[in-house]
Structures are given as C-alpha cells and as structure tokens.
Structure 1
C-alpha cells in the first residue's frame, strides 16, 4: 500500500504572510489541525493548532503575527509513492502527528496524519480477527466460571 491511498488531499495551504488569526479561522473553517505554508506549490513549513496556542497565544504574540514566524520550517515529508511502512517509520522517528505529502516533483499534494494510519491498523485487525469472530459466532464460548476468590463464600472471614 502507498501513502497516496491514505493521505487527505488536497492539503489546506496558506501563504507565509497569513496572520495567526486568519490561520486559526481557516483551520476552523476547514476542520483541520494544521496548515501547510506554501509558496507557488513549494512547501515552506507547517503550522499547527498547537503552534498557534503555544508559540502565539502563550508567547504573547499578536493575532496579526504572520505564520512564517510561528511555523516549523524543517518539515519531515513523505512522497505519494512511499510505502505505508515508510510512513509508520517517519511518524515513529519524528514524533509528529501530521506529515505533508509531496508528488514526484516536490509539490504539495496532501497530508497524512497518524489518525489516517489508525484506519489502516483497524482494517488490518479486522482482517485478522474476522475469521476468529466468525468461528466464535458458530460456536459461542462457554461463559467463564467465577474463580474461588470471587465467590461470596470465599470473601467471608
């Protein structure tokens, strides 16, 4: 499986001059937790809802502060053709929750989040557990018998 099959596309982008307030409003409008900061399709950075809260609000910045002053500019990225195992590794190594996805020419085309990979994990689990669940439905397990420690007579002293 490839990253392109799991990513959300198109990515929500803003220019570096976008104010913190405009970025927050855009996040709310698009129901996203990050914005990719882009100039002519080229990734310059990423700004997250956490960046707005910690770097701007807690840092006592003005709502007019441009996102270029709040964003993370050294961004770990993925490519659409990367194997999903590469994405798991990138998330584990970087410790971030969202990664921009680039096409073969280095242009921003989407975002992959840890939440998107949860869908993969759940699908794989259901694939594994499906046959087990089916066999249990045909032969329901016997109800568990209470242990001696849980029987009322064993609790008395």
Structure 2
C-alpha cells in the first residue's frame, strides 16, 4: 500500500513570509497541528503547534514575526508513491510525528502518526472481523461433556442461595 492511501489531503500550507499569528490562526481554522511552509510552490519547512509554543510563545517572540523564524527545516518528507512501510521507518528513524507528502516538489498531503494508527486499526479490524462474527454467532463459554453450553458452570441458579 502506498502513502497516498493513508495521508490527509490537502496539506494546509502557509507562505514562509506569513506571520506566526497567521500560522496559528490557520491551524485553528483547519483543525491541524502542522502547516507546510512553502515559498514559490516549493516546500521550505514545516511549522507545528509545538514550534509555535516552544520557539515563539515561550521566548516571547512577536506574533508578527515571520513563520520562517520558528519553522523546522529541512522537513523530513515522504513521496506520494512510497510504500507505507517506508513511511513507518521514516517516522521511527527521524523521530517526527508529521511528514509532508511530496509529488515531485509539490506538497500534496500530510502523513501523521495518527494516520498510521488508523491504518493499524483498520488492519486489525480486517483481521479480527471474521473472528468477532464467529463469536457473535456462537458465544464463548465452557461446554459440557456432550458439547453443549454449560449453564452457570454446572450449578443450578438456586444452588448458590444457601438452601
């Protein structure tokens, strides 16, 4: 499976000259924690909510400063046609939580650790689905000697009342 099957699209981007305040607003409007920072259509870096908190807010940087002052560069990326397992390795090796997805030089999406987690959940559901249905058709529990379900572990409902 390719990265394109799991990535979030479109990638939300901001110009390198945009202000930190503008980048933060854009994250809020789009409900994302990361923006691709572009210049002339080319990826220059990424800015995350953590970059803004640690590199801008904490040191008291002016919200009107350009986002390029707090962005992470160079950005670790993956290609749109890369195998998903290569993306897993990239996440592990780079120690990042978000990867811009490129088609040539153009940013076409963003792949996050959450996207991969959803992929894992789908795979587990696909694997366990038939098992779950078989359990629903025949509930688990002990069987007696002839293969029928034992009721209450072999005791009658009144046996535990202390007759």
* Equivalence for 1:17: 17
Counterpart of 2:137 in structure 1 is 138
What corresponds to 2:110 in structure 1?
A: 111
Q: RMSD in angstroms over aligned alpha carbons? A: 1.5
SS at match of 2:43: strand
Q: Hey, what does 1:123 align to over in structure 2?
A: 122
Give the unaligned 5+ runs of structure 2. 143-151, 154-163
Whole-Å Cα distance in 2 between the matches of residues 63 and 36 of structure 1?
Answer: 18
Q: TM-score, normalised by structure 1?
A: 0.87
CA distance in 1, matches of 2:136, 2:12: 45
Which aligned runs of 4 or more in structure 1 are off by greater than 6 angstroms? none
Larger Rg: 2
Offset at 1:134?
1.5
Aligned length: 144
Q: What per-residue deviation string (whole Å, max 9, x for no partner) do you get for residues 22-67 of structure 1? A: 1111111111111111012210000000111111011111111111
TM-score calculated relative to the size of structure 2: 0.84
Which residue of structure 2 aligns with residue 62 of structure 1?
62
Give the SS at the match of 1:100.
Answer: strand
In structure 2, distance between residues paired with 1:99 and 1:122: 20
Return the offset for 1:138: 2.0
Structure 2 Cα separation of the partners of residues 40 and 48 of structure 1: 20
Work out the CA distance in 2 between the residues paired with 1:36 and 1:15.
8
Kindly indicate whether residue 34 of structure 2 is the aligned counterpart of residue 34 of structure 1: yes
Secondary structure of 1:59's aligned partner:
coil
Unmatched segments (≥5 aa) in structure 1: 146-157
Q: 1-side partners of 2:136 and 2:95: how far apart? A: 40
Task: Quote how far apart the aligned CAs of 1:96 are.
Answer: 1.1
